[in-house]
Chains A and B, each alone.
Chain A
Amino acid sequence: NAGVTQTPKFRVLKTGQSMTLLCAQDMNHEYMYWYRQDPGMGLRLIHYSVGEGTTAKGEVPDGYNVSRLKKQNFLLGLESAAPSQTSVYFCASSYAVSAGPTDTQYFGPGTRLTVL
């Protein structure tokens, strides 16, 4: 049981390049999330998904797109990377009980992205 995994662990991009970050979970969780962590700012939600085929915007969605084609995978795309997107990206997942999205979010190890 690997939990939440992220690929790649590190990446360096040039301004304008595109890339996709992959998040996978093997816990059969319904909800998945993408956060970014910047120094002194904690984690901020980019996008999230409440089930296969669904996505929604979080606090800082601009410049990112996501897809959830399979329940276990959540992809984060940068179409045209900018230096402001230099950050550490974390994926998380949680199980939605009937009472709502109140379950604990478990995080992947993070991806460190640098945009030059």
Chain B
Amino acid sequence: AQKVTQAQTEISVVEKEDVTLDCVYETRDTTYYLFWYKQPPSGELVFLIRRNSFDEQNEISGRYSWNFQKSTSSFNFTITASQVVDSAVYFCARLSGSARQLTFGSGTQLTVLP
């Protein structure tokens, strides 16, 4: 099976620190899509970003930024100046162009301490 690996199970930081969540994926497809979702304590899954395999431009949205590197099969997520409200479980996922299945990583629990 082509896996998505989030090696960091739990991360704790103090408010205003920067934090990077790692995601490494496996794929045999030339076309694929990568996603990040946020799951706050309330339990819902919130879509954050989608990145296509043919677009390696990094993206910044406010305090969030994503670094996509095909050479290392990584799609890392950085939160700058973290806030308590960023505390959540963050999931990385991959959708292959030839399949209809989202494969999720096991998630990273981020705790931002005041």
A interface residues (Cβ-Cβ under 8 A, vs B): 31, 33, 40-45, 48, 50, 56, 58-59, 88, 90, 92, 100-102, 104-110
Across the interface, name the chain A residue whose C-beta is closest to B50: A104
Residues 65-82 of B, flagged 1 when their CB comes within 8 A of A and 0 if not, give: 000000000000000000
User: Cα distance A88–B44 when bound, in Å?
Assistant: 11
Which size class do B's interface residues fall under? 20 to 34
Residues 3-22 of B, flagged 1 when their CB comes within 8 A of A and 0 if not, give: 01000010000000000000
Across the interface, name the chain A residue whose C-beta is closest to B45: A107
CB-CB under 8 A for A102 and B97, given A42-B105, A42-B107, A43-B91: yes
Q: Report whether B97 and A100 are in contact in the complex, using a CB–CB cutoff of 8 Å.
A: yes
Q: Report whether A56 and B100 are in contact in the complex, using a CB–CB cutoff of 8 Å.
A: yes
Inter-chain contacts of B45 with A (CB < 8 A): 43, 90, 92, 107, 110
User: Cα distance A92–B93 when bound, in Å?
Assistant: 14
User: Cα distance A59–B4 when bound, in Å?
Assistant: 14
